[in-house]
Structure 1
Amino acid sequence: MSTSDDELAIRKLIATWLNATRAGDVDAVLSLMAPDAVFLVPGGPPMCGREAFAKPLRALLATHSIETLSEIQEIAIEGNMAYARTRLTVEVRPRDGSAAPVRRSGHTMSILRKQPSGAWLLTRDANLLGAPA
């Protein structure tokens, strides 16, 4: 796979992640990350591992829907490691309409590792989302 093909694969992973989240398909999201993935979020401890990420996402999607917009600003690939820098906007809406949607936006930095199969998986993610300005 050439670097161009790798970049396309990473862009596809990001799009698949957003679509699976929108559809509430947590298992599809989990399939895009390494088992030992680590997520950094403002104001909270790191979420270490797929299940640490899955549990709150499943709870949230039971009562809310999530819409996202991701603007990829940079992808760099070096061997079997890559990073993707994005500007992300997330809107979380209660399914029952009981409250106004919560909107967050900001930058993310994701580190991905290419697997022996050729697939890319997210291994580390830093999410700097806050209230929109």
Structure 2
Amino acid sequence: MTDDERAIRDLVDTWMTASKAGDTATVLSLITDDIVFMLPGHEPFGKAQFAEMSKKQQGMRIEGSSKIIELQVLGDWAFMRNYVDVTVTPPGAAPIRRTGYTLTLVRKNAEGRWQLARDANLVA
């Protein structure tokens, strides 16, 4: 495994750990300013809308896993296919489980850190 592949895997692990902890600041640091998220049934959206959506999830318990199925590094860009299994439990409500695949593009920034740049989430 190359250093870049390890760094990208660490990025995914950090994302999952920060999400479980409700650490929105860390999650936001893992995405580019020009990020584009794509979800079924929604218009693509960027970092500001993601931050707003994250605020609404405060107090929710998030448990999950992400398994990288394919990872290809192409210079300062890379793509990965993941299988995600996430359960979100809102306060006082029943858990909601979502599973499925994502296709994510990551980009190395000027400081040499990998960040999410595009994410197509097919989790249902």
Instruction: Place the TM-score, normalised by the shorter chain, in its bin.
Output: over 0.9
Aligned partner of 1:85: which letter? R
Residue 12 of structure 1 pairs with residue 6 of structure 2: no
Matched, 1:65 2:61: yes
Structure 2 unmatched runs, 5+: none
- Give how far 1:63 is off: 3.2
* Mapping 1:96-115, distance limit 5 Å: 98-115=92-109
Q: How many residues align?
A: 124
CA distance in 2 between partners of 1:38 and 1:123 (Å):
7
Instruction: Give the CA RMSD over aligned residues.
Output: 1.1
Partner of 1:47: 45
Letter in 2 for 1:117: E
| Residue type of the alignment partner of 1:122 | L
Structure 1's unaligned 5+ residue stretches are: none
- Give 1:55-94 correspondences, 5 Å limit: 55-60=52-57, 62-94=58-90
Identity of aligned residues (%): 43
Whole-Å Cα distance in 2 between the matches of residues 90 and 55 of structure 1? 20
Q: Please report how far the alpha carbon of residue 34 of structure 1 lies from its aligned counterpart in structure 2 after TM superposition.
A: 0.3
TM-score by length of 1: 0.89
